[in-house]
Amino acid sequence: MGFLNADDRLLIDFVYRDRIDTMLITRRILRRILHGLAEVLATSSPVVARVPASHKSEMLAWEHISALQPETQGEGAAPEAATPQQRQAMPWNLLSKLDIDAHPNAFHLRFEDSAGLLVSMSTTRAELHRLLANLRQLARHAEWDLDTEIGWLIEADAPQLQPGHLAS
């Protein structure tokens, strides 16, 4: 992922073993993606559904922070050998839509341009939190200021420890 100053677009590479699919994202679409991902994460968790309304934001913030913590890799796991790939030449496809289907243990994402399906992938809940965090970081790098009204993400950025709240 990166930001193209000259085009004022985000650039995302989807790396496969045999190719790289590159996509550009506009500010307008990224705003919708950030809000959509935050909404899907907020409404799809059975754990969050059981939390009282007064603590849902804190629970989502805690879940987000936990998903961003580095995981320790098992001792027997060997890193996969990377094969150098080349990004296709411009022009790159412009993302026009992201569909997200929530399932009990996974999320299915379809990134589409105006001609149809480009990239389809499945993620876990933690991976979806990390995707959201990476997209937010890129938006901040681009100085787009897109997610200031998503309460639980603001809480995750600077958790407030107060008596009687989940974090305390």
Residue 77 lies in a domain: no
**Is 79 a domain residue?**
no
pLDDT digits (tens, 9 = 90+) for 5-22: 888 999 998 888 888 888
Phi and psi at residue 132, in whole multiples of 5°? -60, -45
Q: Are 25 and 10 in contact (CB under 8 A)?
A: yes
In a domain, 80, yes or no: no
* SS3 assignment for 55-93: HHHHHHHHHHHHHHCCCCCCCCCCCCCCCCCCCCCCCCE
Crossing angle between the packed helical segments 27-43 and 56-68, to the nearest 10 degrees: 110
The pTM score is 0.77
User: Domain for residue 162, yes or no?
Assistant: no
Q: What total number of domains does the chain contain? A: 1
Please report whether residue 133 resides in a domain.
yes
Q: Tell me the residue range of the domain where 121 lies.
A: 2-68+90-157
For the stretch 144-154, pLDDT in tens is 887 667 777 77
